[in-house]
Amino acid sequence: MRDVFIIGTGQTPVGEHWDLGLRELGASAIRAALDDAGVETVDALFVGNMLGGCVNGQENLGALLADAADLLPAEAWKVEAACASGGAVVRAAALSVAAGIHDVAVAVAVEKMTDAVSEQVTAGLATASDGDYEASHGLSFVALSALLMRRYMHETGASREDFAPFAVTAHRNAAANANAMFREPISAEDFARSPLVAAPIGVLDAAPISDGAAAVVICSREALQPHHRPVRISGVAAATDTIGLAGRADLLTLGAAQRSAEKAFAASGFAPKDMDFFEAHDAFTIITALSLEACGFAPRGEALKRAAHGCFSPGGCVPLSTFGGLKARGHPVGASGAYQIVEAAMQLRGEAGANQVPNARVALTQSVGGHGSIAVTHVLEA
């Protein structure tokens, strides 16, 4: 197994791109990443995406984007792992380089959600849950998350308002991110007053429906060039849990998130305390809390208390969602895991501008799919 490095990153702004489709968004991020890496072409392209079939009527995104980004006849196929597709596709590209089969590969993750009416997007997101035993009975993706949040509040005694710090920090961090969808700060009062989507989840607990694409160029040590500022993938692991919530012994333990984090930490030789920041899958504030606990950044049931003390704010013990996270940078669902890795690489290269975490050297990113049924966790190192 060879060492694998990120040598280029690219992204489109996250938002509502009415004039752009999967083709244009994906190709734009790929070309930006190739330009950043200073490479002309690659051996292979891996495309992360969740909703192409359900929402856009376009599969075969490997060929579509190899063609659009002028990478033919490179190997190219799509990776889907629900909301964790963006993490999984970087994993796939890294596998191909680690295997010694490719020297330089690009992973792009793209989602185009605003092509469809909201009912269609809701149905699309529900394809991440159990179609036979959850979605077909009317449980939407947000409703399932609401069940998790209710259980968390029941077991820990937390209130809805106690989840505010995650959203407030995310919006504050997004303010200086030119690629973010929501750059307006919000207050804890705004959070408390936000209308409910599926009680107890309010609008400001939830990441928005978005369009966007993010890409990384990956290579072996042998392919590194003097002009590169490589970020090493020091540890990566993926793991699964029951697709339906009903099958879990403990609703508040995201087993796949926990196991993938443990394995990624073990592979990297680092521990949670070594992380200079954490890009969490903050699709809902409850998922942020559970992901923090699964990764060892807070004991079970303690994430909100630590958040209240500023532990996850800029300058805190583990800065979180440093460019605004899924909540405020935006959540083009199958692309978000790649945005996390792009942003972490920018931090580790010292290119994060106003959002820079001082002296950032090691970071964790975690991409979570379904309601924790799949998770992909990366330890990245400057």
Q: How far is the CB of 337 from its own copies (least distance, A)?
A: 11
Q: How far is the CB of 89 from its own copies (least distance, A)?
A: 9
Q: Which residues pair with 45 in a beta bridge?
A: 76, 106
What distance lies between CA 151 and its chain's CA centroid?
Answer: 24
Look up residue 309 and give its two tokens.
Answer: 């003390």
Distant-in-sequence, close-in-space partners of 121: CB < 8 Å, separation ≥ 6: 51, 55, 113, 209
Catalytic residue among 17, 83, 228, 281: 83
Between 75 and 274, whose beta carbon lies closer to its own copies? 75
Distant-in-sequence, close-in-space partners of 63: CB < 8 Å, separation ≥ 6: 76
What angle in degrees, to the nearest 10, is found between the helix axes of 85-98 and 336-348? Answer: 60
Between 4 and 311, whose beta carbon lies closer to its own copies? 4
State how far the alpha carbon of 137 is from the alpha carbons of 57, 129, 140, in Å.
24, 11, 9
State how far the alpha carbon of 273 is from the alpha carbons of 47, 363, 364, in Å.
32, 10, 11
Say if CB 42 and CB 218 are below 8 A apart: no
Say if CB 365 and CB 332 are below 8 A apart: no
Q: Is 311 a catalytic residue?
A: no
Catalytic residue among 17, 171, 228, 331: 331
Q: How far is the CB of 185 from its own copies (least distance, A)?
A: 34
Between 35 and 132, whose beta carbon lies closer to its own copies? 132
Q: Is 83 a catalytic residue?
A: yes
Look up residue 180 and give its two tokens.
Answer: 């973010």
Name residue 246's amino acid: A
Q: How far is the CB of 161 from its own copies (least distance, A)?
A: 32
Helices (H), 115-179: 118-126, 141-156, 164-174
Look up residue 114 and give its two tokens.
Answer: 């605003």
Look up residue 363 and give its two tokens.
Answer: 């970071």
Between 72 and 308, whose beta carbon lies closer to its own copies? 72
Q: How far is the CB of 347 from its own copies (least distance, A)?
A: 26
Between 73 and 226, whose beta carbon lies closer to its own copies? 73
Q: How far is the CB of 136 from its own copies (least distance, A)?
A: 8
With tokens 């990113």, the residue in question is 365
What amino acid positions are annotated as catalytic residues? Answer: 83, 331
